[in-house]
Amino acid sequence: DTGVSQNPRHKITKRGQNVTFRCDPISEHNRLYWYRQTLGQGPEFLTYFQNEAQLEKSRLLSDRFSAERPKGSFSTLEIQRTEQGDSAMYLCASSPSWETQYFGPGTRLLVL
């Protein structure tokens, strides 16, 4: 069990550019979650996958955001036409059941 990993750990981009983050969950965890955390706040739910199916999306997830989990393993979160307001920590978590979620270290995004 190597834990949830996320790449990259840090990303600096210019406004208007597209960015993609990757999350590798703990193996055999069928549930995967994405959260966004801004400075001084708790994480906010973005979306949830069970295996390869995206079962819930927050209204925070605008049309510029898309998440995928092909084959029910790793997941990607893409932000198109980034805005300064997208600057945040993007956290991924996985779980084998409906209770405890195991979080990765996060990807810190800065949009200039």
Q: Which residues contact 19 (CB under 8 A, 6 or more apart)?
A: 11, 13, 78, 79, 82, 109
Q: Are 63 and 83 in contact (CB under 8 A)?
A: no
Q: In this structure, are residues 110 and 13 in contact, taking their beta carbons and an 8 Å threshold?
A: yes
| Residue 25 within binding range of other proteins, rule CB under 8 A | no
Binding of residue 99 to other proteins (CB under 8 A): yes
Binding range to other proteins, per CB under 8 A, among 15-23, 63-71, 72-80, 89-97 = 89-97
Contact with other proteins (CB under 8 A) among 94, 106, 109, 111: 106
Task: Name the minimum Å distance from CB 45 to other proteins.
Answer: 5
Which residue stretch of 21-29, 38-46, 63-71, 73-81 sits at the interface with other proteins (rule: CB under 8 A)? 38-46
CB nearer to other proteins: pick between 12 and 81: 12
Of 72, 76, 88, 67, residue with least CA distance to 13 = 88
The yes or no reply on residue 23 touching other proteins (CB under 8 A) is: no
Residue type, 78: E
Smallest distance from the beta carbon of 58 to other proteins, in angstroms?
8
**Beta strand pairing call for 10-13 and 107-111:** parallel
